[in-house]
Amino acid sequence: MIGATTWVIADGYIPPRSTGPAPELTSHESACMLNAGDADAHVDLTVYFADRPPAGPYRLTVPARRAFHQRINDLTDPEPVPPGTDYCCVIVSDVPIVVQHTRLDSRQAANALMSTIAYTPR
Amino acid sequence: MIGATTWVIADGYIPPRSTGPAPELTSHESACMLNAGDADAHVDLTVYFADRPPAGPYRLTVPARRAFHQRINDLTDPEPVPPGTDYCCVIVSDVPIVVQHTRLDSRQAANALMSTIAYTPR
Amino acid sequence: MIGATTWVIADGYIPPRSTGPAPELTSHESACMLNAGDADAHVDLTVYFADRPPAGPYRLTVPARRAFHQRINDLTDPEPVPPGTDYCCVIVSDVPIVVQHTRLDSRQAANALMSTIAYTPR
Amino acid sequence: MIGATTWVIADGYIPPRSTGPAPELTSHESACMLNAGDADAHVDLTVYFADRPPAGPYRLTVPARRAFHQRINDLTDPEPVPPGTDYCCVIVSDVPIVVQHTRLDSRQAANALMSTIAYTPR
């Protein structure tokens, strides 16, 4: 089983405007997850803010042997993550997964990208 | 011997359009590998998707003491990796290597870049 | 408690010009921190330069269970970090935190982004 | 002493053209190093290529308690690193340092950036 069960994204921010065709070039952030194992992963996301208590958990299922790229913009339950707001995210899974964090920012005329493997305790 | 034998890219996505001269500025993703050791590395890539079983293995040889930057766009055997599709990638080598994941996105008028050292179990 | 108490950013550089509305698209760098624990984090930043002794410590408090994205541009005590200057940053906390380093560069007409989880000793 | 003595950059590539004022916006790659310790660091870079034996070592001194951002473009001894060429880089220091790898690509009208903490064995 490849990966770990706890992951952290520290620089969360959904740019509040976009340039270009939606949804492909809509400004967004994604938590990109791999479950390379043989059992489905039950994943809880908790979102931390600068000025209020955390939101969540947001509950996801990442099927066995599948990629699962979750746009943070698309989370709605228990509440949307507001654009233009600093946040952090803790991701806890019941089986090992791997998480990479990516932002696409299309506020200006050509999009910008950033990505990093998320933090996992060792 | 520097590196590790298992590596994971979690945010795989080949942008489906490009601006600028090919192949240099064609939108692409690369698995950039270093084999700093004295023996050739035999490397298997397995590609995971959101909605179907994994593809692969794609078999590569990274010569001893050489850099090897593999465009994911250029993989054809056993099948191409489709652009515009979310994927993840597991890379397994028989000797230690180092893997860095990079995307060049030239869908809009100025290209965007993102890069991260891939995940390796510790 | 998630995270670690020592973090390093090695590529510090605040781009000295900007395009687009301030402060949102002002060129900047951020040390994005998560304190997921139940006690406030007392954090000291020390900034290293190429040609003079280090500056700091800059003292911050990251509240318990909160996100805290600190623009390096906004540090003033004991002294501002000058734009257009290479620097590195060591971040030490009294409780575990997670740190991600991000730069937004809007010197040219469309902004660029880069981000990485900071280095932490294991 | 913070850091490690071996670091790897796997995706080396100096974009072969630039847009904007030199040297600030010249396309380049940097190995950004922090020596937070009290002794100077003697650092050897070895550059690996796809189709020929490695070049180097390139010898650098990173002073105690200083930042040192080395543009790969500026290395000349024993030979320049050619632009438009895939490479990898191994960095070995006699005392612990931290290394972050960054590329600025200004081939098109607005620059792109990418950055990652380099790989270090644990």
User: Cβ–Cβ of D108/B25 closer than 8 Å?
Assistant: yes
Is the whole-model pTM more than 0.90? yes
Q: Report the C-alpha gap between A59 and C36 in whole angstroms.
A: 19
- Mean pLDDT over residues C107-113, rounded? 92
Amino acid at D70: Q
User: Cβ–Cβ of D49/B68 closer than 8 Å?
Assistant: no
Q: Report the C-alpha gap between C14 and A55 in whole angstroms.
A: 32
Question: Which residues in chain A come in under a pLDDT of 50?
Answer: none
Q: How confident is the model at residue B112, as a pLDDT? A: 95
Question: What's the gap in Å between the CA of A57 and the closest CA on chain B?
Answer: 22
Q: How confident is the model at residue A1, as a pLDDT? A: 86
Q: Report the C-alpha gap between A107 and A17 in whole angstroms.
A: 5
pLDDT at C1 over 90: no
Residue B116 has its nearest CB partner, among C108, C113, C116, at C116
B118 contacts in A (CB within 8 Å)? Answer: 117
User: Cβ–Cβ of B116/C112 closer than 8 Å?
Assistant: no
Question: What's the gap in Å between the CA of A117 and the closest CA on chain C?
Answer: 7
Q: How confident is the model at residue B55, as a pLDDT? A: 98
Q: How confident is the model at residue A107, as a pLDDT? A: 94
Q: How confident is the model at residue B1, as a pLDDT? A: 86
- Mean pLDDT over residues C13-21, rounded? 95
The number of residues making up chain C comes to: 122
Q: Which of C115, C50, C116 shows the shortest CA–CA distance to C85?
A: C50
D25 CB-contact burial (10 Å; exposed 0-12 / middle 13-18 / buried 19+): middle
pLDDT tens-place string over residues D90-110: 999 999 999 999 999 999 988
Q: Report the C-alpha gap between C3 and C96 in whole angstroms.
A: 5
Question: What's the gap in Å between the CA of C36 and the closest CA on chain D?
Answer: 23
Q: How confident is the model at residue B99, as a pLDDT? A: 98
**Residue B74: helix, strand or coil by DSSP?**
helix
Q: Report the C-alpha gap between B78 and B57 in whole angstroms.
A: 8
B87 contacts in A (CB within 8 Å)? Answer: 67
Q: What is the DSSP string of chain A?
A: --SEEEEEEEEE---S---SSTTTTS-EEEEEEEE-SSSPEEEEEEEEESSS--EEEEEEEE-TTEEEEEEGGG--SS-PPPTT--EEEEEEEEEEEEEEEEEEE-SSSS-EEEEEEPB---
First-to-last alpha carbon distance for chain D, in angstroms, is 15
Q: What is the DSSP string of A24-53?
A: TTS-EEEEEEEE-SSSPEEEEEEEEESSS-
B100 contacts in D (CB within 8 Å)? Answer: 9-11, 116, 119
Q: Which of C27, C86, C33, C39 shows the shortest CA–CA distance to C58?
A: C33
Q: How confident is the model at residue D53, as a pLDDT? A: 98
Q: What is the CA radius of gyration of chain D?
A: 14
C65 contacts in A (CB within 8 Å)? Answer: 48, 53-54
- List all residues of chain D from 81 to 110 with a beta carbon under 8 Å from chain A: 108-110
Tens digit of pLDDT at every position of chain B (122 positions): 899 999 999 999 999 999 999 999 999 999 999 999 999 999 999 999 999 999 999 999 999 999 999 999 999 999 999 999 999 999 999 999 999 999 999 999 889 999 999 999 98
Q: How confident is the model at residue D109, as a pLDDT? A: 87
pLDDT tens-place string over residues C28-86: 999 999 999 999 999 999 999 999 999 999 999 999 999 999 999 999 999 999 999 99
